[in-house]
Structure 1
C-alpha cells in the first residue's frame, strides 16, 4: 500500500533550529532513506517550496479557472516536504513518520494514496 507522509512546518520552529539541529535533521533523513531503500519501502521524498511565490491555489467556478498565489493555508504553518512510501499498512507508515526529525516539533500527516 502506498502512503504519503506530509511533513508539517512552522516558521518559528524552523528559525529556532541550531546548526547542530540541522546536522541531526540531515543525518536522520539520510539514515532513514538508506534503511527504507533496503526494505523496498522508499519510493521518493523531497522538500516543498515554502514561500508563497512557490505555490498557487487553482479553482474553477462555472467553467472559469482562476489561480491565486499562496499556499493552501495562510499563516506560519506550511507543508515543508513529503515521503512517498510503499508499506504493509498505515501502522508501519506511522512508525516511519515518528522517526522523521520534524516529528519532534511539527505534525506529520500520514495518508493512504489511492484505495
Structure 2
C-alpha cells in the first residue's frame, strides 16, 4: 500500500532550524539523504521531495468560472507543508515507523495518509 508522509513545520520550527549551527543543519539534511537511500534500497521509496519556502506558494480559487490566486505569506498559516515522502510499504504501522524517525516529528507535525489506489476508493 502507498502512504504519503507529509512533513509540516511552523514559523517557530523554521526559525529554530535556521538558528542551528551549520553542522547541525548538515546532519539533518544528511539524515534525509540516508533515509531516502535506505527506503530506495528496500524498495519502499516511491518519491521524496522538499518544497520551496511556503511564502512562494499560490492559493487558487475558481469562482463562477474565474480563477483567482493569492500570494503568501498567509497570516492565517500556522503550519505549512515543508516536504513529503511517498512510500509503498506493507502497512500503516510501517509508514508510521518511518515517519517517527524523522527529526521533524519533534519540531512540527508529520502526517501519514494512505493513498487511494483508485477513484473507486473515494466512494
TM-score, normalised to structure 2, is 0.80
Q: Could you tell me which residue of structure 2 aligns to residue 59 of structure 1? A: 61
Q: Could you tell me which residue of structure 2 aligns to residue 86 of structure 1? A: 88
Whether 1:74 aligns to 2:65 is no
Residue pair 2:47, 2:85 contacting (<8 A) in 1 also = yes
Shift of 1:37: 0.8
Equivalent residue in structure 2 for 1:107, among 106, 109, 113: 109
In the alignment of these two chains, the number of paired residues is 114
Shift of 1:27: 2.2
Q: Could you tell me which residue of structure 2 aligns to residue 42 of structure 1? A: 45
Unmatched segments (≥5 aa) in structure 2: none
Shift of 1:72: 7.6
TM-score, normalised to structure 1, is 0.85
Unmatched segments (≥5 aa) in structure 1: none
Q: Could you tell me which residue of structure 2 aligns to residue 24 of structure 1? A: 27
Query: What is the CA RMSD across the aligned residues, in angstroms?
Result: 2.0
Residue pair 2:54, 2:81 contacting (<8 A) in 1 also = no
Residue pair 1:45, 1:82 contacting (<8 A) in 2 also = yes
Residue pair 1:12, 1:76 contacting (<8 A) in 2 also = no
